[in-house]
Structure 1
């Protein structure tokens, strides 16, 4: 590692010296005016991003950029309420360059998206943001959370390595406990609050910016989460100049991707934006292939005091997986079979296939309506619809046997489906048929999830006084989800006997028939919110109150007879609320401090309301209570910017799913049961830092770091009543007090060097090495395994990891040509080729065996590459 780091530092030193020797002294001057009226625009910004220089127009609308350098650059003029304008200019001496900007309707930008955005030195919350340009440059076909992991307290694991299977953690809380939004619209699953990033595979291509707010957050809506919130703002029709962009991407393991994007004006007040892309990938693990098509569109315009914008995005995809539940292996097994091994891969008649495939399409469509009620008031409304259609596949019956070393030493331990075929194709069960073959060994199934989601989010903003602003509104959602398993492949047989449908027990199930379970979930949520923001002098403060009612309902087609009134439950309603406030004080032009506190009571996940996947309502279902407090300091000068904060979070009545043994009163056989119990408490405390230092023109150092300590605060005792034997009680004890919360690294540090250099003839280069350190990372464990009072040992600690990525970009600006800009980007990830552990599951069962040998893990991807070309017209 030291040799590579020295080479990088030598490169930067040489480039820095060359930068210093380039002649300076060229001046760019001009005016910025309103394109319609010719009025001078005061305070407009004119920037040359590649030189990191710029100026602001004076009272006469005149700007002057000093000490520019010879070359061809893109010069950008922008002003609030106007569409920014880019101009490619060849500079060989003093240049006069005037800009005439076209007004951008405030209405097209005044959507509910703005209500979720935090502003430095105004909004008293901890936040980080990634601009769309950076996301497009660095993402390199990874999942979006992977790029966000360079910000404080944000962690993402690639898990088994399937496309879209990444995880997201903020302050040690999983994405179930992070409010994820797209254009202000929540996208967490309505049943289990998970975020399936494979459904948003192409979103990174159309993002304008992404903001992560840690803790209480700035959103006024009735959306709350213990970890924080994340809002991804897509490109719209209100703020971009016309363009066409063609992009191609190539990478390791046969990654191929192509896209076409555009923005065009259809009339003086109507515009359209769109993108289509196609991506294929073999995957770095065996069988983790990926096929995806993405589409995005946005059309809209201004009509008097109203604006309308219709947008839609979808990414129908199919990808192979390494299932979390059984594809993790011990370190010894990975060393034996290789780190690209996939336990879900099987061989049948010489052909290979993956048992675990995810195929899904979840488009989202938004209709945004904005009404400028008067000069001080705006009503912004989003009506949205999202549907999901698809499945994740797996097996039923016994696991397929493994290929033995004697059969095939090269492919040993992959699944032997030839043996499964021989069993299923030769079994005749006269009880059901004398001619058809019964599959008694492994079969393949699809777990289907088809859902429809409708929602509305309406916000009214008004200035009560020049200092006092009121935001109020409503939030409503309704969701229907249909869940069942279906036979996918009988592997040599003609039918499979399923015993789980009481309406048709022991039915002969064929391909496409429903098996195992079949149920519907209904979720409805209605909320209201109000927020006051007050600015007085150097102080900015807010107070927010919101409340919501969430209800869940379940219908089961298999566990209950068709005429049984218990096959459908009543609505189970829970009331939640949020109260939060904060204040920001600007000490001077550079320094500011803030403090905030928040408390919310959140309805339980719908999955936790019903016990053991039945229609029986869990007696322990209760609201989870959260208190959050933050204290922060920000400094911003011309050469340094630092954001630092400390936080405290207490999470009470956290729901825990437990697995316990019981005796079936009818048969006397042992059975496994599941229950959800509450009463667990966690405390997360931490320090976060984010900063940038401008060393010289075009050369800056960036860092982000966090120390987050999460602990279980108590042991839990619960009384469980089995639903099939209501008179019996079972006492459950979980000894979790003092255990560290797992699944995320408590220590995270990122260092980056950003260097921009002009090479001549319109060619610019951008160099960006990124170093990441992850430490004090405890492997995951289920609290219900801690039933031994003598087992107080921490889960196995995953070894620290050091990762170096490298990004290199070239931009070529052209003048007087139909191609305006050409980009070439090159990326190397895991440059040092460290084989570090990205995910671990503790295998200990007592106080002495929480050790590496018993853990099951996933390893990182080996060093890999990505190259992208883009042409802007």
Structure 2
């Protein structure tokens, strides 16, 4: 009887269960294989699930409910729920997971088709893992990538790819190049706002898939930002983090109107004290996009992105023993030699400030079913610079605060030699600097008479009671105007795709110095202009170190004032053959780069140089073969003739064109293998890149409290390596990731260096004996393992990254501990290996009927102390004081200790 009772109860319950649960399967529409890990959500609710290892799912829904089905790299579908349903998701090369690109001018690598090594980072990964870290650090889990915070100020980070610095890696935002057209650098403080608006990142290592006229060497990092979203809604978020970090963000999308218009807006504000002492900062991120789709053939998108900010820096090199001797006990990673107080508030001699809005107009025209034209117009007007010390203050031992030059650190300069007046904790009392400037300066006695009796300082001039033994803060400005156009015509004919494109750029860079803070003086006598007898700068003619105020472009200038003109005209073409099993591509490009320099201060009689035009180009090709639905192999090779950077055309900061000018030459070859299944993805790459005829410019600490510049010619190097990436899904809730990057990067020759002081006067030459020396500044062995576990609305993720074979950068100073000036040097200094653990957790929940989430990140969980990079190569000898085997006289940047952030987001 009991058995029948249970059976009756089951019969009564079964209809309720059948109505309340829907089962189905999600498939890959191209291969018909199941898709594990696909998201299935009831539209308008937070009720959802994920498919298991065989693509099946069960969800608490009723027949007729609308299910939203999505998966990384596939077009999202909305389907009506029914029992036993089968859903086929189609791959979407434009989506790349949640990534939505704004124009077809953007070149996207496609897995199992484009024959290159590529890693894609989704917006979910960006929003979760970046937190209050630097934007490049999100790429640290990519093979061949090595990002550090350098000095530790906001946005002062840098990244290298396959051992090549970011000067030699192409960075694109929505298809537009953003590397500085004169020096190739990328200033991440200008782009930190990308953490708010990025819809994805694709890191194309090696030759890359870009059609721009001259591609990259280390790789191409293509960053996609949001577009004018078609779905109406918005979000607000608040983040808090270590050291007073606060960030507030709000965004809104209007949705697509009946007549084809849409718009999106975002505004974000951040502020913080900085993990490093005396590196506070503040900034705004602003973004707006307007889209218009009048019909199925035309699509327009206008966007404006910017991130105005100011932040204090730690550019002064710090030795290991400085970290020990100043600040807290042991190694104080937060120590900053630059910092102090003025009028009771934080003050730093080095302050960066910049605002670089980027405006882009995209037009996609589908001329016919098989022919498209994609065009993009863009423009940017960057304004800002960085401050630093000025004046011959080292003539006054009380003002001699900065340990620049040779191998002198603050320990030798202040503790041993007794130079400079600092507080008991080693920080600078800038109120005392003001007192000394005023008390040691007498009233001006020269002409014009209007300045008589005023306290005037200078850097070199000392007549008429002008005091050149003073300390003031100048601003070195690097503003620019940049305009460009990209257009690509593409046609599909049977199994072939043909494209022809143009790439036009016009760049004007303004380089000058202005006075920022006279620190108690009434004026500054500038003698930097060789066309005049000097001029006195009044306090009313100084500039504020702020990104949104007057940056002095039309005001009085000191020390130097020159303009760099760079224009670019490029054409490129591609032919691609593609079948389900085999694809091949051949690309080529030709470009002309024009250079011209105008100098208003230092070149009397030769103010405007001749214009120099240099041709460059490339040819590259590759093929991919899909052995089966799971296995594929690919190969690529290429040759690049790349035009030199601006300073190689005009060496010695003069208007005379380099008579020995030559293009850099790069050859690269790569082999790859991939495996993809419902539970395991593997990619393996082997590469070899040879780079010759290089010109390098770098800075070094010089005597007199300033930074000098070194220029190197004919640098050759070879980079070989192996890269491995894996992703496995052992259960429907658990994803495991692994990465291994092994490099063998060496210089192939010795090279000459020409050294310049802060005023850009040549002060010497040096030969660096580097043949066979390991390339420094990037780890040649990196391993990573990570896990992500989903438990309903809660997810937990953790990762461990191990770094080894990291070598110091070359030291550029004569007598500064550089063993490279000695033919019998010991090679690059190998730094201690280190490992870091990061953890995070996300909880998603309903709030007022809408979606909300809480995210927590902890970086460097175990507070590991490690050297992220070294600027010197001082090898320890017997009896030398060392830290983990490294001579304590070395100037190094320690990585950050444990940091954290918590963010709350609400969508409506």
**TM superposition score category, shorter chain reference:** 0.7 to 0.9
Aligned with residue 369 of structure 2, among 368, 375, 388: 375
Aligned with residue 315 of structure 1, among 307, 312, 321: 307
Cα distance change on mapping 1:98 and 1:527 into 2, 3 Å: closer
CA distance in 2, matches of 1:99, 1:718: 61
The residue aligned with 1:502 is: 530
Cα distance change on mapping 1:819 and 1:155 into 2, 3 Å: farther
Q: Residues 299 and 365 of structure 2 are in contact (CA less than 8 Å); yes or no, is this contact kept in structure 1?
A: yes
- 1:571, distance to aligned residue in structure 2 (A): 1.2
The residue aligned with 1:576 is: 616
CA shift digits 1:622-662 (9 cap, x unpaired): 211001110000000111001111100000011134899xx
Q: Residues 160 and 322 of structure 1 are in contact (CA less than 8 Å); yes or no, is this contact kept in structure 2?
A: yes
Q: Residues 401 and 419 of structure 1 are in contact (CA less than 8 Å); yes or no, is this contact kept in structure 2?
A: no
1:254 matched to 2:276: no
The residue aligned with 2:858 is: 828
CA shift digits 1:403-458 (9 cap, x unpaired): 97899997433224344323321312434654011223110111122211000000
- 1:301, distance to aligned residue in structure 2 (A): 1.8
The residue aligned with 2:784 is: 750
Cα distance change on mapping 1:721 and 1:165 into 2, 3 Å: closer
Aligned with residue 828 of structure 2, among 754, 778, 795: 795
Aligned with residue 205 of structure 1, among 196, 199, 207: 196
Aligned with residue 482 of structure 1, among 484, 501, 510: 510
1:645-660 equivalence runs, <5 A? 645-657=685-697
CA distance in 2, matches of 1:138, 1:851: 32
CA shift digits 1:220-261 (9 cap, x unpaired): 2214221010001112236x5332111111111111111112
1:554 matched to 2:597: yes
What secondary structure sits across from 1:265 in the alignment?
coil
Aligned with residue 462 of structure 1, among 488, 491, 495: 491
The residue aligned with 1:775 is: 804
Aligned with residue 154 of structure 2, among 163, 183, 201: 163
CA distance in 2, matches of 1:184, 1:104: 15
Aligned with residue 686 of structure 1, among 721, 724, 731: 721
The residue aligned with 2:843 is: 810
- 1:67, distance to aligned residue in structure 2 (A): 4.4
1:28-39 equivalence runs, <5 A? 28=22
Aligned with residue 529 of structure 1, among 555, 563, 572: 572
CA shift digits 1:554-596 (9 cap, x unpaired): 11111133xx2x1011111111101000000000010000000
Cα distance change on mapping 1:692 and 1:99 into 2, 3 Å: closer
The residue aligned with 1:430 is: 445
The residue aligned with 1:12 is: none
What secondary structure sits across from 1:188 in the alignment?
coil
- 1:793, distance to aligned residue in structure 2 (A): 1.1
Q: Residues 228 and 263 of structure 2 are in contact (CA less than 8 Å); yes or no, is this contact kept in structure 1?
A: yes
1:844 matched to 2:889: no
Q: Residues 384 and 454 of structure 1 are in contact (CA less than 8 Å); yes or no, is this contact kept in structure 2?
A: yes
Cα distance change on mapping 1:847 and 1:605 into 2, 3 Å: farther
- 1:621, distance to aligned residue in structure 2 (A): 3.0
Q: Residues 151 and 704 of structure 1 are in contact (CA less than 8 Å); yes or no, is this contact kept in structure 2?
A: yes
CA distance in 1, matches of 2:263, 2:581: 41
The residue aligned with 1:865 is: 900
CA distance in 2, matches of 1:748, 1:217: 22
What secondary structure sits across from 2:725 in the alignment?
strand
* Larger relative strand fraction: 1
Aligned with residue 473 of structure 2, among 434, 444, 452: 444
Cα distance change on mapping 1:83 and 1:495 into 2, 3 Å: same
CA shift digits 1:243-287 (9 cap, x unpaired): 211111111111111111222224132211221111111111122
Q: Residues 50 and 57 of structure 2 are in contact (CA less than 8 Å); yes or no, is this contact kept in structure 1?
A: no
Q: Residues 85 and 241 of structure 1 are in contact (CA less than 8 Å); yes or no, is this contact kept in structure 2?
A: no
Cα distance change on mapping 1:656 and 1:482 into 2, 3 Å: closer
Q: Residues 710 and 753 of structure 2 are in contact (CA less than 8 Å); yes or no, is this contact kept in structure 1?
A: no
- 1:112, distance to aligned residue in structure 2 (A): 4.7
- 1:805, distance to aligned residue in structure 2 (A): 0.5
1:701 matched to 2:736: yes
Cα distance change on mapping 1:494 and 1:694 into 2, 3 Å: same
1:607-686 equivalence runs, <5 A? 607-657=647-697, 676-686=711-721
- 1:550, distance to aligned residue in structure 2 (A): 0.7
- 1:844, distance to aligned residue in structure 2 (A): 3.1
CA distance in 2, matches of 1:858, 1:79: 41
CA shift digits 1:63-103 (9 cap, x unpaired): x94445799x99533599998467999xxx979999999x9
Q: Residues 582 and 594 of structure 1 are in contact (CA less than 8 Å); yes or no, is this contact kept in structure 2?
A: yes
What secondary structure sits across from 1:422 in the alignment?
helix
CA shift digits 1:707-766 (9 cap, x unpaired): 1121011123699999x9xxx9998643110111100111101110110012xxxxx111
Q: Residues 499 and 505 of structure 1 are in contact (CA less than 8 Å); yes or no, is this contact kept in structure 2?
A: yes
What secondary structure sits across from 2:326 in the alignment?
helix
Q: TM-score, length-normalised on structure 2?
A: 0.81
Cα distance change on mapping 1:659 and 1:340 into 2, 3 Å: closer
Cα distance change on mapping 1:69 and 1:692 into 2, 3 Å: farther
CA distance in 1, matches of 2:117, 2:248: 36
Q: Residues 26 and 67 of structure 1 are in contact (CA less than 8 Å); yes or no, is this contact kept in structure 2?
A: no
Q: Residues 260 and 275 of structure 1 are in contact (CA less than 8 Å); yes or no, is this contact kept in structure 2?
A: yes
Cα distance change on mapping 1:811 and 1:657 into 2, 3 Å: closer
1:20-419 equivalence runs, <5 A? 28=22, 47-48=39-40, 51-53=49-51, 65-68=56-59, 76-77=68-69, 84=76, 112-113=103-104, 115-237=106-228, 240-268=230-258, 269-304=260-295, 305-323=297-315, 326-337=316-327, 338-397=332-391, 398=393, 400-402=399-401, 411-419=424-432
CA distance in 2, matches of 1:255, 1:515: 36
CA distance in 2, matches of 1:801, 1:652: 32
CA shift digits 1:512-533 (9 cap, x unpaired): 2311111111110010000001
1:515 matched to 2:558: yes
The residue aligned with 2:409 is: none
Cα distance change on mapping 1:655 and 1:786 into 2, 3 Å: farther
CA distance in 1, matches of 2:221, 2:176: 11
Q: Residues 422 and 428 of structure 2 are in contact (CA less than 8 Å); yes or no, is this contact kept in structure 1?
A: no
1:766 matched to 2:795: yes
Q: TM-score, length-normalised on structure 1?
A: 0.84
- 1:355, distance to aligned residue in structure 2 (A): 1.1
Cα distance change on mapping 1:55 and 1:574 into 2, 3 Å: same
Q: Residues 184 and 231 of structure 1 are in contact (CA less than 8 Å); yes or no, is this contact kept in structure 2?
A: yes
For the aligned residues, what is the CA RMSD? 3.9
- 1:356, distance to aligned residue in structure 2 (A): 1.0
What secondary structure sits across from 1:425 in the alignment?
helix
**How many residues get paired?**
802
CA distance in 2, matches of 1:169, 1:788: 25
What secondary structure sits across from 2:148 in the alignment?
coil
- 1:353, distance to aligned residue in structure 2 (A): 0.6
Cα distance change on mapping 1:220 and 1:423 into 2, 3 Å: same
Cα distance change on mapping 1:26 and 1:621 into 2, 3 Å: farther
